[in-house]
Structure 1
Amino acid sequence: MDSISMVRLVLPLLLLTLPTAISFGYPAVFNFGDSNSDTGNFLAGLGGSLGLPNGRSYFHRPAGRFCDGRLIVDFLMDAMDLPFLNPYLEAIGAPSFYRGCNFAAAASTIHPARGDSISPFSLGIQVAQFVRFKEKVREIQAQSRNLGKYIPGEDYLENALYMFDIGQNDLAGAFYSKTLKKVLATIPTIMSQFESGIQKLYYEGARNFWIHNTGPLGCLPQNIAKFGSNDPKKLDEHGCVRTHNQASKIFNSQLFGLCKRLRVQYADAKFTHVDIFAIKSNLIQNYSIYGFRQPLMACCGHGGAPLNYDSRISCGQSIVLNGSRVTAAGCEADRKYVNWDGIHYTEAANWYVASQILTGKYSDSPLLHKMP
């Protein structure tokens, strides 16, 4: 049996575990981002719900995630031997924040939310929520030590990992009203706003920063359908929108440069930059090697090949189109699709991305951390 056939055979089994040789010592994780790492904040903060088939692959019910199962952050938490992160805005059920908290919310941006923004929870707001969280933790600790199992201690806050996966919506949303040139012109301002968020967390005592760059936006079915379907010349050899991927690369280049400057400015802090673009691009370009059949077609959608994406209907919804009721239902083989709903990745693809992150090959500094 050749190596490619072996990978195709064992991939479904590997999805049950996430092998890693990396030993972590982070006592807690605080995550900031958009729907790529949102574990329920968007729905808790703005109301609404996600129905099946969202969540069906692992949770067997909707779990606040825009996915059929686990996200990259869920797999990373497993690898760190930490529980899944509870969303900051989810109060029902009295979740424990002892080992961290998730501030990420779907549709969020780095730049401040505007009147037409889908999510009000921009990075600045998420950072402000963390500051509020920290203040409440200290207040509760001063009043009672009996709640220690629900909230992190001061040493946990100091030695925690502060993780970021945000920026996708800043670029993707801009293309609806701006040319590529104008989109690129906004990136320096976005970087400045990202730096401001990092600085505020640093002044709050954060020292371990783990920053994901943005993925290949031009390979999302949503963007292909909107910006590439009517003109094949706008697509590259892999079927992705050239302008969107070009913007992603320039954004990532400036983000990488910012991380290098932050290391110099804050010498007592650790900044790890993770090249998510390279990981996801490799998956899409070489999908068959990793056991996938569909690199660009949405698993849960409407419209059939080649994209199975219709902006008028979301995954799990049923609406009337052209006089007939249609449903955006999930495909039969989630693990064979890279894309879940036209915008987000499947659990299988998220597992692959997380497994590659944990090799350390896509990071510009070691992932290893030991508490002092």
Structure 2
Amino acid sequence: MASSAAFFLLAVAALHVCCCRGQGRDGGAVAAIYSLGDSITDTGNLAKEAPPGAFETIKHLPYGVTFGRPTGRCSDGLLMIDFLAHDMGLPFLNPYLAKNTSFDHGVNFAVAGATAMDPADQSNRTFSLKLQLRWFKDFMKSTFDTDEGNSKNFFPLITVSQPQCTLCFQRSGILILYVKFVRAEIRKRLQSSLVLVGEIGGNDYNYALFGNKSVSEVEKLIPAVVQTIIDATKEVLDMGASRVIVPGNFPIGCFPSYLTAMASPEQSAYDSAGCLKDLNLFAAKHNAQLQRAVAGLRSSYPDAAIAYADYFNSFLSLLKGAPALGFDENSTHTACCGAGGRYNYDERRMCGVEGTAACADPSAYVSWDGIHMTQAAYKEMSRLIYHGRYLQPQILSFPE
């Protein structure tokens, strides 16, 4: 039996693990990037997981045309995550479901079509944030924790009167502090890494809105979606992450898919940028709740660097400055690849199927297929966010 002195030292060490999370404010180099999310970030997971015949369009040209070949990315080329990795001096992130590939500098767990919340209909196979988080944990354990010993268990460490940790319970009137054992190797790796939790949640709303639910009905989902994102972020931080970025949603009322599906005969429904006001107000409500929740995380995890990535206002900035950035000012709301119509978008004939065509110069367009952006737009978005004022606060430093 361990001596009382030894037990006290173990308790103090474990309390430090629980309450002193993340040591990433020193500006140390980022050794790896781990990403959770949806099609905005997916570098090939859906294409590798989908059975033959499903999601065939993203597996073939014109997807990837600017890159030179299809990669499973929902664009003509690279994504924001690719530009971020490049700017940090790291290789592009390989998808988690890829075989015989390197994960030395990070892993991409994002899956196109993924939702934040688990689907109510369990027969609908959706790659939710919960599943991606499980992949993340499994990867970290299998790669950096080969000891199967204590890593599965909770065990009592110390009694406390004013607990600062949420992992506590009461027994016989005494509060007992419990801490999940996290291997030092995992914590060390995460403290030299960057973790992106999203963008995610957009599809929860997309599926509902395109399922004929009203904007006011879908607004009721916002608190649950935001809480799911925050809960996942807490788990990442509890594992030892010291740098975490949580992105918000885009101004979806500016996207060709929504501009087509929810077109209004009333000019008053549109703002000065030609976007649908109600949809952008909805996205702004999601972002406001998410920002408040992220601010709460900073209070709970003072030793971690936690930033909110403002996709909403950075995208509006891109639209406003589109001509100066080399985009065709007459095509900022038009898909490069599609099947005609005012916005070159038809949900019955998506980019890549028979009867659709891609524009000659994707770099002149903001939207690739009506839902996702072009490589040129993603590059500009990455610059605005990660090198500009739309990462709040700025927690990244880039090599010269």
> TM-score under structure 1 normalisation?
0.82
Q: Within 5 A, what are the aligned runs for 1:174-193? A: 174-176=208-210, 177-193=212-228
Counterpart in 2 of 1:156?
Answer: 189
Counterpart in 2 of 1:20?
Answer: none
Counterpart in 1 of 2:353?
Answer: 317
The answer on whether the counterparts of 2:28 and 2:192 sit within 8 Å (CA) in structure 1 is no
Out of 333, 336, 345, the position equivalent to 2:361 is 333
The answer on whether the counterparts of 1:105 and 1:119 sit within 8 Å (CA) in structure 2 is no
Shift of 1:266: 1.3
C-alpha distance after superposition, 1:90-121 (max 9, x if no partner): 22xx0111110001111111111243887521
The amino acid that maps onto 2:189 is Y
Q: Percent identity?
A: 33
Structure-2 separation of matches of 1:30 and 1:231 = 44
Structure-2 separation of matches of 1:342 and 1:114 = 27
Out of 332, 340, 343, the position equivalent to 1:303 is 340
Report whether the alignment pairs 1:53 with 2:62: yes
Counterpart in 2 of 1:256?
Answer: 291
Out of 270, 273, 277, the position equivalent to 1:235 is 270
Out of 86, 99, 112, the position equivalent to 1:78 is 86
Seen in structure 2, the aligned counterparts of structure 1 residues 220 and 118 have a Cα distance that, compared at 3 Å, is: farther
The answer on whether the counterparts of 2:308 and 2:391 sit within 8 Å (CA) in structure 1 is yes
- Give SS of 2:292's match: helix
The answer on whether the counterparts of 1:301 and 1:330 sit within 8 Å (CA) in structure 2 is yes
Structure-1 separation of matches of 2:48 and 2:386 = 30
The amino acid that maps onto 1:333 is D
Counterpart in 2 of 1:31?
Answer: 35
Counterpart in 2 of 1:15?
Answer: none
The answer on whether the counterparts of 1:335 and 1:346 sit within 8 Å (CA) in structure 2 is yes
Larger CA deviation: 108-117 vs 205-214:
108-117
The amino acid that maps onto 1:339 is S
The amino acid that maps onto 1:301 is G
Q: Tell me, which stretches of 5 or more residues in structure 2 are unaligned?
A: 1-26, 149-184
C-alpha distance after superposition, 1:23-61 (max 9, x if no partner): 871110000111001001112122344210111112x11
Structure-2 separation of matches of 1:344 and 1:246 = 20
Shift of 1:139: 5.3
Q: Within 5 A, what are the aligned runs for 1:100-249? A: 100-115=106-121, 120-138=126-144, 154=186, 155-164=188-197, 165-176=199-210, 177-228=212-263, 232-249=267-284
The answer on whether the counterparts of 2:243 and 2:395 sit within 8 Å (CA) in structure 1 is no
C-alpha distance after superposition, 1:158-180 (max 9, x if no partner): 32100132122122222233222
Structure-1 separation of matches of 2:28 and 2:387 = 13
Shift of 1:233: 4.2
Out of 376, 379, 387, the position equivalent to 1:351 is 379
Structure-2 separation of matches of 1:97 and 1:126 = 16
Shift of 1:135: 1.7
Shift of 1:140: 5.6
C-alpha distance after superposition, 1:320-358 (max 9, x if no partner): xxxxxx2x1210111110000010000010111011123
Q: Whose Rg is larger?
A: 2
The answer on whether the counterparts of 1:171 and 1:247 sit within 8 Å (CA) in structure 2 is no
> TM-score under structure 2 normalisation?
0.77
Structure-2 separation of matches of 1:117 and 1:227 = 28
The answer on whether the counterparts of 1:219 and 1:241 sit within 8 Å (CA) in structure 2 is yes
Shift of 1:206: 1.8
- Give SS of 2:358's match: coil
C-alpha distance after superposition, 1:276-301 (max 9, x if no partner): 11111121233222211110100000
Q: Within 5 A, what are the aligned runs for 1:359-370? A: 359-368=387-396
Counterpart in 2 of 1:274?
Answer: 309
- CA RMSD in angstroms comes to 2.1
Structure-2 separation of matches of 1:249 and 1:24 = 33
Counterpart in 1 of 2:47?
Answer: 43
- Give SS of 1:201's match: helix
- Give SS of 2:360's match: coil
Structure-2 separation of matches of 1:119 and 1:82 = 32
Structure-1 separation of matches of 2:84 and 2:384 = 11
Structure-1 separation of matches of 2:259 and 2:123 = 22
Structure-1 separation of matches of 2:107 and 2:224 = 28
Seen in structure 2, the aligned counterparts of structure 1 residues 203 and 298 have a Cα distance that, compared at 3 Å, is: same
C-alpha distance after superposition, 1:143-189 (max 9, x if no partner): xxxxxxxxxx6433332100132122122222233222222221111
Seen in structure 2, the aligned counterparts of structure 1 residues 222 and 358 have a Cα distance that, compared at 3 Å, is: same
Q: How many residues align?
A: 326
The answer on whether the counterparts of 1:107 and 1:119 sit within 8 Å (CA) in structure 2 is no
Structure-1 separation of matches of 2:373 and 2:191 = 32
Q: Tell me, which stretches of 5 or more residues in structure 1 are unaligned?
A: 1-22, 143-152, 319-325
Structure-2 separation of matches of 1:141 and 1:30 = 22
Structure-2 separation of matches of 1:270 and 1:139 = 24
The amino acid that maps onto 1:296 is H
C-alpha distance after superposition, 1:297-329 (max 9, x if no partner): 00000014x2111111121111xxxxxxx2x12
Shift of 1:239: 2.1
Structure-2 separation of matches of 1:118 and 1:335 = 36
